[in-house]
Amino acid sequence: MKKISIVFILMVLSTAIFAQEARNIFFDTPKKEKEKYVFTTSWRIVASYVQDWQKSNSTYPDTYLHGGKIGALVDFSLPYHMSLQTGVNYALTGNYNNQHWRSISAETTQEEYIHHQLLKHTLEIPVHLYYNQQLWKQLRLFFLTGPNFQIGLAYSDNITNNLSDGAKNWLEKNGLFTEKYDKYKEKELYRFNFQWTVGGGLEWDKYRIFGTYNFGLNNLVNNYPHNSTSFSAQMREWSWSAGFAICL
């Protein structure tokens, strides 16, 4: 009888323990406390190399611009390892090329060309969603995507020409510049450019290295040539960049 009592007590205790564990598993919050979301903001200084690619149809020349970009950005933390980043970037890019022309005048055999020295100033407002994943200790991998709004400040074409009078007169008659001008002020290009950004990188402590690619979505050509309506010129600006950021 004593043995039966002991067995019965053990059975009751086992049942009670099992019931408590089952309750913990199916109904209660796990013992390990879940990571709590805390809203924070952080400021970053960004610097990067950038290359713009102005891709067009056959009526407008393709152009590559190289340069740099600096900015001040702010991150807003979100749940599930995500954050939202925005701020302002300033980009300065440029390039040069020679545009050759066949001599129009039969009286001259000189090589005719226009030398273009391009310089573009741009403000950017990114609105990017980040996803962060910890790899090891303070090392994190991140991905980003979102819109990038560009506003053109100035886009100068410093022209030096080596043209015969006949070629120069023909170009000017058809609305093409042979002297220095600004593509925005002369309404050759629209100032606003809407892009979509994808990218990623690595973060260690307060330092980031990253790469991004921007897809241009709207046509930038406003009027080219300036006095011609015989065709519709199309151009979109894509770009990629690689750089680093420091959290303040």
**Tens digits of residue pLDDT in 195-241:** 999 999 999 999 999 999 999 999 998 876 655 544 577 889 999 99
* Strand locations in 63-138 (E): 63-78, 82-101, 112-136
- The pLDDT value recorded for residue 103 is 57
Q: Residues of the chain whose pLDDT is less than 70? A: 1-35, 58-59, 99-110, 113, 163-178, 224-231
Fold observed for domain 39-247 = Porin (2.40.160)
Contact 201, 209 (CB under 8 A): yes
Burial of 237 (0-12, 13-18, 19+ CB in 10 A): buried
As a whole number of angstroms, the distance between CA 41 and CA 100 comes to 53
Residues with Cβ within 8 Å of residue 206, at least 6 apart in sequence: 246, 247
- The pLDDT value recorded for residue 208 is 96
> 23: helix, coil or strand?
helix
Instruction: Give residue limits of the domains in the chain.
Output: 1-34, 39-247
- The pLDDT value recorded for residue 25 is 45
Contact 195, 215 (CB under 8 A): yes
As a whole number of angstroms, the distance between CA 130 and CA 142 comes to 7
As a whole number of angstroms, the distance between CA 231 and CA 235 comes to 13
- The pLDDT value recorded for residue 166 is 63
Neighbours of 114 (CB within 10 A): 22
Contact 51, 241 (CB under 8 A): yes
Can you give the pTM of this predicted structure?
A: 0.76
- The pLDDT value recorded for residue 216 is 94
